[in-house]
């Protein structure tokens, strides 16, 4: 009975979350507050290197939901592919790529974080790993600590891209559920566009 209850609870949570993410098509704040200006995008592009993480506070309903549920000002994470000037991200659509300027235009705030495991070679391999997951589904149950193999949520994708380089447990162990607002625990903040 316990196992069936767990499956039922997981299903209900997943269904509710799917319904909420299905509504995430319209901005819920003034689009003028997003990172659209060429100067800021260019500034970020100059700082970004292959394999950096972009942690954002987006403007969609799902971003509001994540920020509310995690009680944090940040709502999304992605990994940057400098060669293609795009991010690899996991959203309700699954794992896919988005041009950097389009990604930032959906964000009110953005942080650039360099992972603690970053080296030029590790970054190339991390991007290759993340690219190999393009087309995989979104890990809805992972948001409550029940991971579905072959599926990823945003922060899980960014962290797992560097998994082969985690030789020992870091000072801050990675929890079962990784919130966007926690990503700086495993990296160094290089840029913050501000609140």
Spatial distance between the Cα atoms of 138 and 32, rounded to a whole number of angstroms: 29
Rounded distance, CA 190 to CA 84, Å?
Answer: 21
CA distance linking residue 119 with residue 142, whole number of Å:
28
Q: What is the pLDDT of residues 86-139, one digit of tens each?
A: 999 999 899 999 999 999 998 888 999 999 999 999 999 999 999 999 999 999
C-alpha 102: how far from chain center: 15
pTM above 0.85, yes or no: no
SS3 label, residue 195: coil
pLDDT digits (tens, 9 = 90+) for 150-188: 999 999 999 999 999 987 655 668 888 889 989 999 999
């Amino acid at each position: 009975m316990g196992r069936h209850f767990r499956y039922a609870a997981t299903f209900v949570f997943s269904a509710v979350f799917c319904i909420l993410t299905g509504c995430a098509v319209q901005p819920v704040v003034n689009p003028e507050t997003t990172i659209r200006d060429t100067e800021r995008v260019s500034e970020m592009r100059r700082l970004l290197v292959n394999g950096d993480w972009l942690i954002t506070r987006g403007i969609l309903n799902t971003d509001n939901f994540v920020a509310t549920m995690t009680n944090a000002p940040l709502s999304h994470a992605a990994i940057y592919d400098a060669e293609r000037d795009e991010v690899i991200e996991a959203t309700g659509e699954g794992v896919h790529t988005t041009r950097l300027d389009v990604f930032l235009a959906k964000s009110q705030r953005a942080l650039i974080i360099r992972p603690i495991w970053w080296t030029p070679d590790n970054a190339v391999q991390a991007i290759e790993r993340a690219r190999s997951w393009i087309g995989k589904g979104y890990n809805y149950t992972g948001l409550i600590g029940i991971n579905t193999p072959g599926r990823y949520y945003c922060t899980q994708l960014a962290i797992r891209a560097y998994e082969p380089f985690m030789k020992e447990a870091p000072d801050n162990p990675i929890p079962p559920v990784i919130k966007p607002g926690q990503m700086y625990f495993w990296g160094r903040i290089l840029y913050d566009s501000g609140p």
